[in-house]
Amino acid sequence: MGEFSYELPDSLLKLELPECGLTKVRIHAPRLTSTDILRNKLPSLTPSRLPKSLTKLIACGDSISSFGGDLKDLENLEEVYLAKNKLRGYLPITPSDW
């Protein structure tokens, strides 16, 4: 699939895109609270390309090695799942930021 960059309905609350071969993600869905983008081919994740309304982000097994921004920009985020990626060092946010 490559890049996922769509304006989605305001009524959409949950989006699941597992194993779609995504390399870039830009999601515009103002009320989206949960997204599952696991097992894609994302080399990086840019929080500013995700809805600020997100409370749950599942991005396991995506080959993510870096972030193009700060996770604290996702001010409503409560759950983050990033297992089996290529991350090294610290996440661009600390628990005290929450």
CA dist., res. 75 & res. 51, Å (int)? 10
pTM for the whole thing?
A: 0.88
Q: For 16-35, how does the pLDDT look when each residue is reduced to its tens digit (9 = 90+)? A: 999 999 999 999 999 999 99
Greater confidence (24 vs 92) lies with 24
Q: For 31-78, how does the pLDDT look when each residue is reduced to its tens digit (9 = 90+)? A: 999 999 999 999 999 999 999 999 999 999 999 999 888 888 899 999
> Residues 65, 42: contact at Cβ < 8 Å?
no
